[in-house]
Amino acid sequence: MQLAADLDTPAVTIDLSKLQKNIARAQRLVSEAGKLNRPHIKTHKIPDIAAMQVKAGATGITCQKLGEAEVFIDAGVTDDILITFNIVGAAKTRRLVDLARRVKRLAVVADNETVLQGLSEAARGSGVDLPVLIECDGGFGRNGVQTPDAALDLARLADRLPGLVFEGLAVYPNNALNTKPFFSRAIELFKGAGVPLPVLSGGGTAALLTLADYPMMTEHRAGTYAYNDVMTVESGAATWDDCAMHVRATVVSRPTEDRAIIDAGSKVLTREQYFVKGFGRIVEYPEAAIANLSEEHGMVDLSASPRKPEVGEVISIIPNHCCVVSNMVDEVYGLRNGAVEVVWPVAARGKVR
């Protein structure tokens, strides 16, 4: 039996009890809200964890990239997958159609005519009909049609194009300011036009707390909740105790009284910050700040910390954004009671195409 304490560093660990608790809680929240749960696997990129999510009650999974879907379909986790990314170019649309042949349902989003035309070209005559959701911008300012009228225009186009089946609308995250008015208006508009909307797909971990405010949504895609991180805690969607992912790092230098250097830099923790300060929370020294990172060095400011770690000490860091840390390492260590219970290869690591 390998102990967590004996793992060489830097090492990414997953507390299995917390992971199981997080999966059960999200499933309960989504089921109680009367929606289907479609977890986003970009957080963990590990088929075994997706299998745990499906076993807990998920209807299927969400993938961001085709390459992720290929890995999860090869693993046989589920036969109901939604890809929430515009698939552009013949090389990719061909792969999409090949994949769609292998499962019961492989749905995909689109937010413009070029994408719909490309999907249709690949699907027509292939014997596969691709279910399509029109992606809407509820105020996040990323992808998505800007108005309910534009959504209806694309839905009609999807309905007309051979090889496509219009299924509904998608948005991320559904707690963005504009989502509710956008979707309320869209529902009216589609009803008036006689276009059914069987699927309304929302998403986000923070949005798990306000599902009841979006009764129109039929399914929910959360991802980060499986591990949680500094950002989900600071957004109020989780507590420190809910954080299942830790980066174990060794203090390799104490060049000054107030500075420690650890062996985890931007190649493990990443530079993701969004709205949070520093580059992760040190569990054992919460007053210390990971003030800066170079590729392999983490610079820890100890000035506010009454206790200071020694060279050789191993610390545990809750990363700012767990989903990108998953993409940085070959494997993660599943821990229970201080021992390594499972070593999971991060199977879809690097699957960004």
Residues 275-334 that bind ligand PLP (CB under 6 A): none
Residue pair 34/8 in contact (Cβ under 8 Å)? The answer is no
**Smallest distance from the beta carbon of 225 to ligand PLP, in angstroms?**
6
**Smallest distance from the beta carbon of 153 to ligand PLP, in angstroms?**
22
d(CA 223, CA 220): 10
**Smallest distance from the beta carbon of 232 to ligand PLP, in angstroms?**
8
Q: Is 224 in the site for ligand PLP (CB under 6 A)?
A: yes
Q: Is 40 in the site for ligand PLP (CB under 6 A)?
A: yes
d(CA 154, CA 339): 52
**Smallest distance from the beta carbon of 43 to ligand PLP, in angstroms?**
6
**Smallest distance from the beta carbon of 221 to ligand PLP, in angstroms?**
4
Binding region for ligand PLP (CB under 6 A) out of 92-100, 112-120, 179-187, 203-211: 203-211
Residue pair 27/261 in contact (Cβ under 8 Å)? The answer is no
For ligand PLP, which is the closer residue by CB, 204 or 280? Answer: 204
Size, binding site for ligand PLP by CB under 6 A = 13
Q: Is 203 in the site for ligand PLP (CB under 6 A)?
A: yes
What lies within 8 Å, CB to CB, of 18 at 6+ separation is 228, 241, 242, 243, 244
Going by C-alpha positions, the residue among 167, 274, 279 that lies closest to residue 219 is: 167
Residues 83-102 that bind ligand PLP (CB under 6 A): 84
Residues 153-192 that bind ligand PLP (CB under 6 A): 172-173
Q: Is 69 in the site for ligand PLP (CB under 6 A)?
A: no
For ligand PLP, which is the closer residue by CB, 84 or 86? Answer: 84
Residue 320 backbone dihedrals phi, psi, to 5 degrees = -60, -45
d(CA 119, CA 132): 9
Task: State the pairing for strand pair 11-15/36-37.
Answer: unpaired
Largest Cα–Cα separation, the chain: 70
Residues found near ligand PLP in the complex (CB under 6 A): 40, 62, 84, 172-173, 203-205, 221-225
